[in-house]
Amino acid sequence: MREHFRPALALLALFSLLCGVAYPLAVTGIAQLAFPAQAAGSLIEQEGKVIGSELIGQNFSQPGYFHGRPSAAGANGYDASVSSGSNLGPSSKALQDRIAASVAVLKAENPGAPVPAELVYASASGLDPDIAPATAQFQIPRIAVARGLSAMQLQALIDRHTRPRFIGLIGEPAVNVLALNRALDASAAAP
């Protein structure tokens, strides 16, 4: 039995070091060299201060900003340390009430337009940084009033910040909400 125990422990130690230390360090090192911004979290800085990440959604609730998907991550939403959905089922009264309230607010903002599901339902992670171009377009009337901009100016801003499908085939066109709101602040006075 002892003759099998020593090689087993040696292999356990070897593979623990190899797979648990050497491989992660090598991958991290290669990532830092090849993709430094992405490996550091795709952080966005403004005047030397980190204001967000391209990869994590944020809460924009003022009327003069584009809003992302609702978030159920954490007590107040958008908490990256507890990324998750709400776990509320379709028959949940709390979920139905939240959705009904969201739909009522959105219908009042843009009467007659169909409300995008993206602005009503939270994602599984609760941290989606992107919305569909149509979801951004739905918000144009509210932002135009709040900022004093024309719908054409806002549409041009959305068009400039719409990321197409990868190689024209994979995924859907998307707009990063933080990048769009930063461009909005740069083009017009903040509300």
Does residue 175 contact residue 130 with C-beta atoms inside 8 Å?
Answer: yes
Per domain, the residue ranges of the chain are: 1-40, 42-187
Q: CB neighbours (10 Å) of residue 188? A: 17
User: What CA–CA distance (Å, rounded) separates 86 from 187?
Assistant: 36
Span 115-132, pLDDT tens digits: 888 888 877 777 788 889
Predicted confidence at residue 146, as pLDDT, reads 86
Span 29-47, pLDDT tens digits: 998 888 887 777 777 777 8
User: What CA–CA distance (Å, rounded) separates 135 from 124?
Assistant: 18
